[in-house]
């Protein structure tokens, strides 16, 4: 059936076109400026492979940390009514809007050498988190976890709790219900949440450079390597950027059902 649409105001069309150009032009610029012939050499340089390896390692670990801790948090937020729930949810989602550099500073105040917790970690165990690879993982998990929590919490609210009740009447303990009914039933959202968290961790810059620094081979992840390379070798910066762009594009495609509105 045809619906009657009001004609689009011309000014809107012009501005919409401008917006699209603004979003697409930089990407086209990146593609044009990419030194395609030198790409293999640039990407296999020691600095590039180091950064790539470190980024993969830390982002996967950060996504794992965000999942192992974030799923239980999402479950508590979705299923348990407790006083101050709204405040807690607000705090959980804060890193979504918090400038990452502030997150990095906040992590330093707690886990730094003289931080609230960090001083004891150092004094008692000799553990120093800032400026270490573990620090990179922490910074990335800090910014990535809210993505997982909101995705999983929404999915948990959407499934009919009576499926879980049916499983209980069939003799399943609450833990067995969680692993055999609840999590499989939200698997699509869980995967989406993990991928989103991983992509956010991979692109993390502000919190990482603040909390973990920019040491090649130890804390210099891809985004940091791009930033450093820009000052010495513009081609290498562009080549590394292409890697991140390719990853982002792949993530978008794999989650297209969620963001591009196509329901498969």
Partner 1 sequence: MSVTARIITHLGEFDLDAQIEASPGETVALLGPNGAGKSTVLRAIAGLQPIDDGCIRIDSTPVDEPASRTFIPPEHRRVGMVFQDYLLFPHLSVGQNIAFGRKGLFKDNDASNWIDALDLRDLLKRKPHELSGGQAQRVALARALATNPRVLLLDEPLAALDAATKQSVRGQLRRFLQRFEHGTILVTHDPLDALVLADRIVVLEAGRATQEGPTTEVASQPRTDYLAALLGVTLLRGVATDGVIECATGGSLIASTSLTGDVVVVLRPQAISLHTNKPEGSARNVWHTMVTSVEVHHDQVRVALAGPPPLVAAVTPAAVAELGIAPGQRMWASLKATDITVHPI
Q: How far is the CB of 161 from partner 1 (least distance, A)?
A: 10
Positions in 161-220 near partner 1 (CB under 8 A): 162-163, 165-173, 180-181, 184-185, 187
Nearer to partner 1, 120 or 163 (CB): 163
Whichever of 182 and 221 has its CB closer to partner 1, that residue is 182
* Cα→Cα distances 32→29, 36, 235, Å: 5, 9, 12
Among residue numbers 62 through 121, which ones bind partner 1 (CB under 8 A)?
none
- Chain-centroid distance, C-alpha 22: 24
- 105 Cβ neighbours under 8 A, 6+ residues apart: 210, 211
The answer to whether 63 and 144 are in contact (CB under 8 A) is: yes
| Residue 87 neighbours by CB under 8 Å, 6+ apart | none
Please give, one letter per residue, the 3-state secondary structure of 110-128.
HHCCCCCCHHHHHHHHCCC
Shortest distance (Å) from residue 158 CB to partner 1: 13
Instruction: Considering the complex, state which of residue 39 and residue 183 has its C-beta at the smaller distance from partner 1.
Output: 183
Within 8 A by CB and 6+ apart from 168, the residues are: 174, 177
By beta-carbon proximity to partner 1, the closer residue of 18 and 191 is: 191
Using CB under 8 A, pick the residue from 160, 261, 262, 264 that binds partner 1. 160
CB of 119 to partner 1, least distance (A): 45
C-beta contacts of 97-103 below 8 A and 24+ residues apart: 99/206, 100/139, 100/143, 100/204, 100/205, 100/206, 100/207, 100/208, 100/210, 101/206, 101/207, 101/209, 101/210, 103/139, 103/142, 103/143, 103/206, 103/207, 103/210, 103/211
Residue 181 CB, nearest approach to partner 1 (Å): 6
Residue placing its CB nearer to partner 1 in the complex, 176 or 234? 176
Minimum distance, C-beta of residue 81 to partner 1, in the bound complex (Å): 16
Cβ 170 to partner 1, closest distance in Å? Answer: 4
Binding mask 3-32 toward partner 1 (x if CB under 8 A, else -) reads: ------------------------------
Whichever of 163 and 249 has its CB closer to partner 1, that residue is 163
CB of 208 to partner 1, least distance (A): 37
Number of residues interacting with partner 1: please give it, by CB under 8 A: 17
Q: Residue 195's closest CA among 157, 252, 245? A: 252
Query: Which residues are at the interface with partner 1 (CB under 8 A)?
Result: 160, 162-163, 165-173, 180-181, 184-185, 187
């Amino acid at each position: 059936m045809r619906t009657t649409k009001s004609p689009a105001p011309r000014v809107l069309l012009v501005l919409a076109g401008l917006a699209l150009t603004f979003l697409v032009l930089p990407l086209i610029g990146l593609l044009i400026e990419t030194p395609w012939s030198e790409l293999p050499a640039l990407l296999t340089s020691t600095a590039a492979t180091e950064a790539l390896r470190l980024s993969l390692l830390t982002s996967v670990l950060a996504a794992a940390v965000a999942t192992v801790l974030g799923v239980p948090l999402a479950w508590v937020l979705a299923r348990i009514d407790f006083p101050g729930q709204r405040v807690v949810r607000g705090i959980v989602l804060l890193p979504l809007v918090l400038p990452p550099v502030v997150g990095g500073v906040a992590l330093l105040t707690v886990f730094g050498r003289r931080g609230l917790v960090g001083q004891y970690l150092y004094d008692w165990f000799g553990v120093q988190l800032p400026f270490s690879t573990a620090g990179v993982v922490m910074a990335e998990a800090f910014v990535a976890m809210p993505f997982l929590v909101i995705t999983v919490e929404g999915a948990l609210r959407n499934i009919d709790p009576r499926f879980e009740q049916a499983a209980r009447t069939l003799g399943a303990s609450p833990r067995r219900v969680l692993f055999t009914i609840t999590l499989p039933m939200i698997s699509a959202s869980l995967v989406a949440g993990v991928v989103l968290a991983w992509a956010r961790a991979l692109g993390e810059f502000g919190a990482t450079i603040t909390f973990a620094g920019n040491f090649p081979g130890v804390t210099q992840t891809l985004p940091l390597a791009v930033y450093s390379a820009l000052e010495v070798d513009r081609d290498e910066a562009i080549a590394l950027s292409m890697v991140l762009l390719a990853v982002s594009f792949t993530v978008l495609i794999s989650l297209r059902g969620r963001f591009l509105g196509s329901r498969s």
